[in-house]
Amino acid sequence: MANLKEIRNRISSVSSTMQITSAMKMVSAAKLKKAQDAITAMRPYADKLTELLQSLSATLDADSGSKFSEQREVKKVLLVAITSNRGLCGAFNSNIIKEVSKLTKVTYANQEVSYIAVGKKANDAFKKTNRVVANESTIFDDLTFDNVADIAQTLMDKFVTGEYDKIVLVYNKFKNAATQEIMTEQFLPIVPIEADANVNLDYIFEPSKIEIVEQLIPKSLKTQLYKGIRDSFASEHGARMTAMHKATDNATELRDQLKLTYNKARQAAITNEILEIVGGAEALNN
């Protein structure tokens, strides 16, 4: 059994760890509230805008289709891996890394695959593969629509110029503090939804349907990417809060066990000392 000093040191170490994890949990809980409100507020707008653009794209003739809807043979694929800059958030980052690796080895095994890392964890995981063409880790230092729009514009340019034939976003969709869903979402080309016979798409457009679509599609794509990063940002804080909550509970349980072990060891030491004293007294009497 470890001596009393070693047990006291372990109790002190575990208590310090528990204070750190508890503080990180509270910080993530505070940040989660703001991030959750942001993604909850923008999700209906982003989803409706995407649905509208897909519906309009479905009604365009092949010759007048948008350059962002061009379907061509997929030879080069760009995967946008959205992770966090920091760890201590459970399987949040590893799930994205595993999904990107799976897409590379299975889904796009016959294509040339490259990565854009949004977050340091993705960059650290893939930088040795020589597939990372850009590292956008600094986006989380100032997460605004304008900054994300610059990344989206770069992606659109890479697709239009033919540098990549397909661009896919991989991120965690926020459901609640304890649940995140891995999303594999095609960014480009835009896939028009099949027109439903029961849905009336016969609108009057001014100035014209093509001009409206051409102006709205870039905005829709920027919004789509911003929503994905916002989803991931909220998911990160939810995952970290849950992970730190579990870590705090585990540290509390371990500390209590160590205290019990310490008390037992201390009691045994006191009993041994009493027995030695009694034994010595009896020896003197004899």
DSSP state of 129: G
Closest to 131 (Cα-Cα) out of 105, 151, 157, 150:
105
Amino acid at 71: Q
Catalytic (active site) residue 53: no
Report the C-alpha gap between 141 and 90 in whole angstroms: 22
Report the C-alpha gap between 229 and 82 in whole angstroms: 7
Note whether 137 and 123 are within 8 A (CB). yes
Residue among 18, 80, 89, 258 flagged as catalytic: 89
Report the C-alpha gap between 47 and 216 in whole angstroms: 14
- DSSP, residue by residue, 170-239: EEEEEEETTEEEEEEEEEES--PPPPPTTS------SS-HHHHHHHHHHHHHHHHHHHHHHHHHHHHHHH
> Which two structure tokens, joined as six digits, stand for 47?
């989803």
Active site residues: 89
